[in-house]
Structures are given as C-alpha cells and as structure tokens.
Chains A and B, each alone.
Chain A
Amino acid sequence: MIKVEGLTKRYARNVAVKNISFEVGKGEIVGFLGKNGAGKTTTMRVLTCFLPPTSGKASVAGFDVIEQSLDVRKNIGYLPETPPLYPEMVVRDYLSFVAKLKGIAGPDVAKRVDEVIGRTALGSVRNTIIGKLSKGYRQRVGIAQAIIHNPPVLILDEPTSGLDPEQQREARQLIASLSGDHTIILSTHVLSEVEQSCSKVIIINAGEIIAVDSVANLHRRRKGGEMVAVQVAGASEPDVRQKLELVRGVAKVIAREAPEGFVSFEIESLEEHAVRPEVARAIVQSGWDLTELRTVGESLEEIFLDLTKAEKPPAIAAPATEAEKA
C-alpha cells in the first residue's frame, strides 16, 4: 500500500530523513517510533504530499507522491500533529467542509458526515463550536476529518499526544476499530501504544531507520536466556542467594529492592535453559514461601533505548592524565 525507496529530505541546513526505505502492506497498522526530531513528521509529510522529497521515491496506493500527487491525496486521510481545525466553525460544518474538499459528491456529504460523527462518537457535540471543545474531542474531530472520505490509507501523526490517559485509551480504541478497513501508519513516542495497537514497528532515529519488525520479533531480539523475577518470604538474603546460585542453568543473581520481610531477586538464566521450575522447587524445598515468580520480558522501551543508543558518536579520546604527563 505504501512504498518508500531511498527517501531523503533535506532542509536548508540539516537532513531530516536520510535514504530510508520501507514498505507497508494492505491492512497493516504500523507504528512509527522515534524520539522528537527523528524524522517521523517529515516522512509523513512527504507521504501526504505536503512536502516533496529531496530525492528518492514514495508511493501510496500505487500512486507516486510527486507525479500523481492528487491521486495520492485522494487515497490518504491525514491527521497532522496539531489537528487542522478551524476554531470558529461548528463540528458539523467543519466536517462537511472537509468532505467537500476531499471530493465527496454534494448529495452524499451529509450522509458521510453523519457516519463519521457516529463512528467517532461526536454526536453530543455535533453543533458545538470547535473552539469550545476539550482536547480529547478535538482530537476525535481530527480523526473524523481524516476518515471522512473513507481513504484506504490513514496517516496519523501522534494521535494520542497531549491527551489524558482516559482519552488516550479512547483514541487507541478508535484507531483499533479503524484497522479493519484502513492501512494505518501512526507515529508516536509512547511505546506502550505501539505494543497495544500496532502489528509492525518502524524505529527511526536521527533520520535513519534502525529497525523494521513485528512487535513480537522485537521482543525476541534479546540476546541470551530469560530473566526471571523471584520474591521469597521468610528467609535472609544471603541464604536465598546461595541457594539460587546453585540452581542449574542460573547465570547471574541480582538482588532487587523488596518490601519488609521479603527478599527479591532477578535471575538471568543461561541460554536454552528454562529455570523457573527448578527455582521454584529449590525455594519450596528449603521451607521458604515463594511469593512471586515471573518472567521479565524486556520492554519495548528498553529495546528502543538500546537501539537508539547504539549509534553514539565514538568517544573523544581522553586527554592524557596528570600522571602520564609527569
């Protein structure tokens, strides 16, 4: 549905996006992940024909963003970072205006507007002036304008930023409900959001793509064995540590903070070793109470920080120390 090849976008002084390539298939929800300023918005703006690329190609639904710009725009629904709303307009009028801009035929406009109002649960504010709406509602009007012409491709730039947790959950549900009919790219720097709603992740850092993978695969990328968290009641720390270190397959035992009366550890296992049953047995057989035992998955957050940190500039050679000079 979306194909980007060797796309570069250069502004007067800096390069925002460097030679990136990726593809998004029909019906996929792709999370576009990166720090602020990584090039997410620029890439989206190229795809929506707001900015032309400096070099490289991009196509949406088979149309080239430069050569067939109008066709691309017909096939895309776009929610920019700040929803493009006219504060003096009433929700309904605004949506009819956008519907007409997107080329919906006159007689169908009212019907289509009613449909998206229903879909985005804006019924109660349909006759309210946009300027008086709360941020959550405004975001919903923003999503409503993006889907009004029922485009096959949706591009949402940080659709949940600035919303409270409740509104974020609603917005995520709304996006998830759209996933059946549309191919969606959404950018975010909230990692849990990607884990919840996306099938695929594109991680971008300083204008370059550093990972394109499914969420599940990213989790599996971790090297080594699994991490297990254990909490034990009724024992002293050295005793438990000693016991745990003797369990077959345990590579490392790290103490963690624990509430009064408990001791807590994180155990790293050797590769190909499932240590949980052994650990449980060892503790119970020692007569202690096992109060917690779970696998600690590396969160997407850690993977993300890991990946974006990887390409640090080489450290500047340390100046000679006083001792060496002497």
Chain B
Amino acid sequence: MRNVITICVKEVKAYFTSPIAYLLMGLFGLITGFMFYSATVYFVNMGTQQQMMGQSSPMNINDMVIAPLLGNAGVIGLFLVPLISMRLFAEEKRSGTIELLLTSPLNDWEIILGKWLGAMVMYLAVIGMTVIDVGLLFAWSTPDLRPILTGYLGLILQGATVLAIGTFISTTTKNQIIAGGSTFAVCLLLWVLSWVSNYSDSWYGKAIAYCSILVHFEPFSKGIIDSKDVIFYLSAIFLGLFLTARSLESLRWRA
C-alpha cells in the first residue's frame, strides 16, 4: 500500500508541476461555467416569466440546472480523460524510466494502482471545478443535495472507468499522441454506442447499448443509484486494470 501511495503522490506532483493540470482545470471550469451560466439565466428568466403570467407550475432547480450541468460535465470529462491518462505509461516507456519502476522491489499491481489513483486525483481536481457552480446555487437557493451527491458519484465512477481503459491503452505504446488518440476514439465510441437502442430492439442491440458508458451515468444524475450501473462501472474498471496488468507483464516478455 505504501508503494501505491508513493507512486500516486509522484503522479499527482507530475501533473501539477506541469501546465497540464492548470490547463485542464481552467478549460473545464470555463466550459462548464458557461453552461452553468446559460442554464441558470434561462431558469431565472423562465421563473420571472411564469410569475408575470400568473402561472405557478413547479420549477425544480435540480432538474433544470444541476442535472444538465453534471450531464455535460460527464460528456466533457469523457473528452478530457485521454489527456490525463495518455502519459501514464507511454511517457515512462519513451524516457526509459519504466526500467526504474520494473526493477524496483514493487509488484506490478502497485505500480498500476498508484498510477491510476494519481490520474483519479487529477480527474477529481478537474471535475471539482463544477463545485464552484453548484456552490453558488447553494448560496442563493435550496437545491436538493441527494441527487447532487449521486451525480458526483456517477461522475467519479465514469471517470474511473475511462481512466482504467486509458491506462491500459497507455501501456501499449511509447507514443503519447497515439495513446491519447486511441483513448479518445474509445471514449467517443463508448458514448455513441447507446444510439443502437434507437433503431434496434434485438438482444445484441441491447447488449451493445448496455456497453455505452453514458447510459449508465444518466440515472446517477437523476439521483438514482442502480446496482446494475454500479456493477457495470466496477467491472469495467476491473477489466481495464486487469488488461493493464497483462500488458505490463507482456512488456517484460517482449521488451
């Protein structure tokens, strides 16, 4: 465990001593901030309009502002993950530092877990930018806390899954651009797989749609924790890290 922490801390420091961390956090904060601003302004305008027209249909700030914000954060997060995960192993392979890690008295899984957790911390810092937006809502209104918490749980699980896949892809190449590009393609594919359900009701159509990563995120943003979704994410994380371990092992054999 100590070794996992050592590697995790080193990875986090690596993100934050380079401009990557600040760039990602800044870009993400800017985009989600704009989305949040638009949704809030729309929500306020709708509210005043309804008051002027004497209607009083119930308006929910959770449904109209927070859920879309977290949903968008999920999609944008999907596209930022490759930028976080691409360097994890590709950089070590290119610079030769992988030799240091693999000849130190560590188990492979300690290296993998440490790196993946380090990437998770970076990801959390990025999606943490939306806490500013949500915090503003809490300052001036009284949103329901529970769906917000489940929404963040969903974001974390989704990020962890894609990072595990990205970590695996990063072990397969020395080239960070290839690692990032491939991870990006996989993320995109995992996003659009759900479209299958638009035109196919067959079992394989359902199976393909089931693999779509965002389908499993939606219930979370509505405040629902379904064990089916949790199991999907956890097994995908396990698969990603397992493949990473295999890939790292084969690295020793192929070198």
Contact B96 A103 (CB under 8 A): no
Would B105 and A73 count as touching, CB distance under 8 A?
yes
CA distance A76 to B100 in the complex (A): 11
A 22-59 binary contact with B (CB < 8 Å = 1; else 0): 00000000000000000000000100111110000000
- Interface pair A88/B97, CB less than 8 Å apart: no
Shortest CB-to-CB span from B239 to chain A, Å, is 25
> Bound state CA distance, A103 and B106, in angstroms?
9
Q: A48 vs B102: C-alpha distance in the bound complex, in angstroms?
A: 9
Residue among B14, B96, B98, B104 with the most chain A CB within 10 A?
B104
In the complex, are the beta carbons of A97 and B105 less than 8 A apart?
A: no
Complex-state Cα separation, A11 to B253, whole angstroms: 9
Counting chain B CB atoms within 10 Å of each CB, which of A84, A93, A97, A103 scores highest? Answer: A84
Bound together, the chains give a CA A49 to CA B95 distance in angstroms of: 19
A50 touches B104 (CB 8 A): no
Residues in A neighbouring B100, C-beta threshold 8 A: 78, 80, 84, 98, 101, 145
What residues on A are CB-neighbors of B252 within 8 Å? 50-52
A145 to B99, CA, bound (A): 12
CB of B141 within 8 Å of the partner chain? no
B206 at the interface (CB under 8 A from A): no
Residue of B nearest to A102 (CB): B104
A74/B255 contact (C-beta < 8 A), A84-B100, A100-B6 known = no
| Complex Cα spacing A78 to B105, Å | 12
Closest Cβ of chain B: how far from A201's Cβ, in Å?
25
Contact A48 B103 (CB under 8 A): yes
**Chain B residues, CB < 8 A from A76:** 103
Residue of chain A at shortest CB distance from B96: A82
- Whether A84 pairs with B255 at a CB distance below 8 angstroms is no
Establish whether residues A88 and B14, one from each chain, have CB atoms under 8 Å apart when the complex forms: yes
Q: How far is the CB of B153 from chain A (nearest CB, A)?
A: 32
Count residues of B near A (Cβ-Cβ below 8 Å).
26
Q: A45-B255, A51-B252, A97-B6 are in contact. Are A86 and B97 (CB under 8 A)?
A: yes
Min distance, Cβ B12 to any Cβ of chain A, angstroms: 12
Question: Interface centre among B13, B18, B107, by most A CB within 10 Å?
Answer: B13
Q: Which chain B residues in 60-117 approach chain A with CB under 8 Å?
A: 95-107
Distance (whole angstroms) from the CB of B113 to the closest CB of chain A: 14
Instruction: Assess the A80–B105 pair: CB atoms within 8 A.
Output: no
Q: How far is the CA of A67 from the CA of B138 in the complex (A)?
A: 58
Which residues 67-88 of A sit at the B interface, judged by CB distance below 8 A?
70-71, 73-74, 76, 78, 80-82, 84-88
Say which residue of A51, A70, A73, A82 sits within 8 Å of B255 (CB atoms).
A51
Question: Chain A: which residue is nearest B3 at the CB level?
Answer: A101
List of A residues within 8 angstroms of B3 by Cβ = 100-101
Q: Does B202 contact A (CB under 8 A)?
A: no
Write out the residue numbers on chain A whose beta carbons fall within 8 Å of the beta carbon of B101. 101
Q: Are B255 and A78 interface neighbours, CB within 8 A?
A: no
Please, which residues of chain A bring their CB within 8 A of the CB of B48? none
CB-defined contacts of A12 to chain B, threshold 8 Å: 254
Cα A102 to Cα B17 in complex, Å, equals: 24
- In angstroms, Cα B18 to Cα A71, docked, is 35
Q: How long is the Cα–Cα vector from A102 to B104 in the complex, in angstroms? A: 6
- Among B10, B95, B102, the residue within 8 A (CB) of A97 is B10
- Which of A51, A80, A101, A145 has a CB less than 8 Å from the CB of B96? A80
Q: Which of B155-184 contact A (CB under 8 A)?
A: none
**Which of A74, A84, A145 lies in contact with B105, CB distance below 8 A?**
A74
Give bound CA distance, A12 to B7, whole Å: 32
Q: Which of B6, B14, B107, B253 contacts A86 (CB 8 A)?
A: B14
Which chain A residues border B97 with CB–CB below 8 Å? 84-86
Inter-subunit contact B99/A84 (CB<8 Å): yes
Q: Of all chain A residues, which has the CB nearest B104?
A: A101
Greatest chain A CB density within 10 A among B99, B253, B254 is at: B99
Let me know if B255 and A50 touch, CB within 8 A: yes
Q: Which residue of A lies closest to B2 (CB)?
A: A100
Across the interface, which residues of B come within 8 angstroms of A74, CB to CB? 105
* Residues of the B chain whose Cβ atoms lie less than 8 Å from the Cβ of A145: 100
**Contact call A101/B106, Cβ cutoff below 8 A:** yes
The listed residue (A11, A88, A101) touching B6 by CB distance below 8 A is A101
| Residues of chain B within 8 A of A49, CB atoms compared | 102-103
A90–B159 Cα distance when bound, in Å, is 30
> Could you tell me if A73 and B104 are in contact, using CB atoms closer than 8 angstroms?
yes
Q: A45-B99, A71-B105, A98-B100 are in contact. List 9 more A-B contacts (CB 8 A).
A: A50-B99, A76-B103, A80-B96, A80-B100, A82-B95, A86-B10, A93-B13, A101-B3, A101-B101
The 7 closest A-B pairs by CB, nearest first: A84-B100, A84-B97, A73-B105, A101-B104, A100-B6, A48-B103, A82-B96
19 A–B pairs (Cβ distance < 8 Å), ordered by A: A45-B255, A48-B103, A70-B107, A73-B105, A76-B103, A78-B100, A80-B96, A84-B98, A84-B99, A84-B100, A86-B14, A86-B97, A88-B18, A93-B13, A100-B6, A101-B6, A101-B101, A103-B105, A145-B100
Query: Which A residues contact B (CB, under 8 angstroms)?
Result: 11-12, 45, 48-52, 70-71, 73-74, 76, 78, 80-82, 84-89, 93, 97-98, 100-103, 145
